Structure 1
Amino acid sequence: MRMLGVLGGMGPLASAEFMRQLTLLTPAARDQDHVPAVLWSDPRVPDRTEARVHGGEDPLPALLRGIRALEAAGCGAIAIPCNTAHGWYAQMQAATDRPILHIVDAAAAALRRLGITGPVGLMGTTGTLAMRLYQERLGVECLTPDAETQASLVMPAVALVKANRVAEAYAPLAEVARGLRARGAAAVVLGCTEIPLGIAAGPELEFPVVDTIAALALASIGWARAELAGAAPGS
């Protein structure tokens, strides 16, 4: 089974949760059944929303530096447990011959497993929403928070998770998710890898949500299993 590369650190807690989900979701009876993986967790990557929305420092050089390191480690595919970083997906994929597993495609697969065809609520960073990463790729209608809700509830809650104040993020995130549900969302896509951490810190919501960390972990396991199935006998 070839090695999975994880381009992480955006943020570090989300990357750690991805590795936890990768382990828990793998059907395994022993250590050797798990997915070989290398985590490149570099929190020095410039802020992705700041770059896209406010003209901040370009994160692409740091992202490519991580990809080079994962290539050197022998990784056969790359997963990126950061939604907003996928705004640079085309440039990253063009710079490597390793497949980069797209987190929006993983979320779309999760919705298909749930039998949901839309509309769905979409929660994410301001950068992710502004780049329309989900709206143009997910394949279903997306309902998003208004600008005031985004600024007063979503982004402060994301910042709380990044500051390791995870429990405090639950109330504002749950309020936003319930608001999207009230507007007609059949499910809510947690399109920022900090958001599932905040949502998991309180009572389970009364409607379906798509945890994009778990969805990407499942996509990574699918890649690894396909690699194993395609290996030559005795390899």
Structure 2
Amino acid sequence: MHKLGLIGGLSWTSTARYYEIINKAVHRAKGGQHSAPLLIESLDFATVAGCATEEDWDIAAVQLIDAARRLEGAGAEALLICANSMYRVYDRVQGAVDIPILHIAEVVGRKMQAEGVEKAALIGTRNVMTEKFYRQRLVAHGVSLLPADMELAERIDRIVYDELTVGKVSRDSERYMKSELTDIAKQDVQAVVLACTELELIVDVKANVLPIYDCTGIHANAGVEFILG
């Protein structure tokens, strides 16, 4: 098996899900006592959370580059950055190492294209929903996206940073997301892209009116394919 590196701590709750998904999938594929050969660099999320200015993103990029180089030096053959929002600095991090970093929006976009999805709603934190770095990757795979709902983006930011990243799961937030997804299903879309690695904690991705493309699971399983490949 190939050794995979995870840049995690972005937040620890979603990193735990990556670890669980990857190891369960490797065990299913290999059987016995097999588990995934992983290297994990778990960052202090407080130092990169809530980036708002270009200076903030410069600081985040430096931290991610340092983490990627340490993982490469330790023997990782490919990397996952375990947070949708941090792909804003993907090009800078990828340019600093010689091993591939599997882009979360690319693997999601390829899956949607293969399954014939042409219209979708993108749900995530504010920078993911509103900025080009993520949306353009999906559009390049033939997926037309609804305009960003700013009220929803602001509420998701509060849910993610005040609750989910610190391990708090609220019934109010679960109900809110279920209501929003029900409303989205009434629009002219074929699917929802759940582009926040923590939202899976409060959204049942298998029990909604529309198909939900859970970026956490799709990305983690791309990592599994690399490990087993």
TM surpasses 0.5? yes
Question: In the alignment, is the contact (CA less than 8 A) between 1:123 and 1:144 conserved in 2?
Answer: no
Partner of 2:87: 86
Q: Deviations over 1:18-41 (max 9, x none)?
A: 111112233231233x43111111
Tell me if 1:97 matches 2:98. Answer: yes
Partner amino acid, structure 2, of 1:178? T
* Cα separation, partners in 2 of 1:66 and 1:24, compared to 1, 3 Å: same
3-state DSSP of counterpart to 1:75: coil
Note closer, same or farther for the CA distance 1:39–1:61 as it changes in structure 2 (3 Å cut).
same
| Structure 2 counterpart of 1:68 | 69
**Match for residue 207 of structure 1 among 207, 210, 214:** 210
AA partner of residue 111 (structure 2): A
**Match status 1:180 vs 2:184:** yes
* 1-structure distance, mates of 2:105, 2:112: 11
Alpha-carbon offset, residue 112 of structure 1? 4.1
Cα drift, residue 128 of structure 1: 1.5
Q: In the alignment, what sits opposite 1:195?
A: 199
Alignment of 1:144-183 (within 5 A): 144-151=147-154, 153-159=155-161, 160-168=163-171, 169-183=173-187
How far apart, in 2, do the equivalents of 1:189 and 1:49 lie?
21
For 1:2-81, what aligned pairs fall within 5 Å after superposition?
2-26=2-26, 27-32=29-34, 34-44=35-45, 46-47=47-48, 49-52=50-53, 56=56, 58-81=59-82
Deviation at 1:47, TM superposition (A): 3.3
Q: Is residue 225 of structure 1 aligned with residue 228 of structure 2? A: yes
Give how far 1:195 is off: 1.1
The Cα shift of 1:4 comes to 0.2
* 2:210 alignment partner, SS class: coil
Q: Work out whether 1:143 is the aligned partner of 2:146.
A: yes
Q: Size of the alignment, in residue pairs?
A: 221
Secondary structure of the structure 2 residue equivalent to 1:172: helix
The worse-fitting range, judged by mean Cα deviation, of 205-214 and 74-83 is 205-214
Counterparts of 2:146 and 2:117 in 1: how far apart (Å)? 13
Distance (whole Å) between structure 1 residues aligned to residue 113 and residue 170 of structure 2 = 30
Q: CA deviation at 1:174?
A: 2.0
- What is the SS of the residue equivalent to 1:78? strand
Contact 1:122 1:191 in 2 (8 A): yes
Amino acid at match of 2:47: P
Cα separation, partners in 2 of 1:45 and 1:100, compared to 1, 3 Å: farther
TM-score normalised to structure 1 length? 0.85
1:69/1:45 Cα in 2 relative to 1: closer, same or farther (>3 Å)? farther
CA contact (8 A) 1:9 1:41 kept: yes
Hey, what's the Cα distance between the residues in 1 that align with 2:32 and 2:156? 40
Q: What is the deviation of 1:69?
A: 1.8
The secondary structure found in structure 2 opposite 1:120 is strand
Q: Which amino acid in structure 2 is aligned with residue 217 of structure 1?
A: A
User: Where does the alignment leave 5 or more consecutive residues of structure 2 unmatched?
Assistant: none
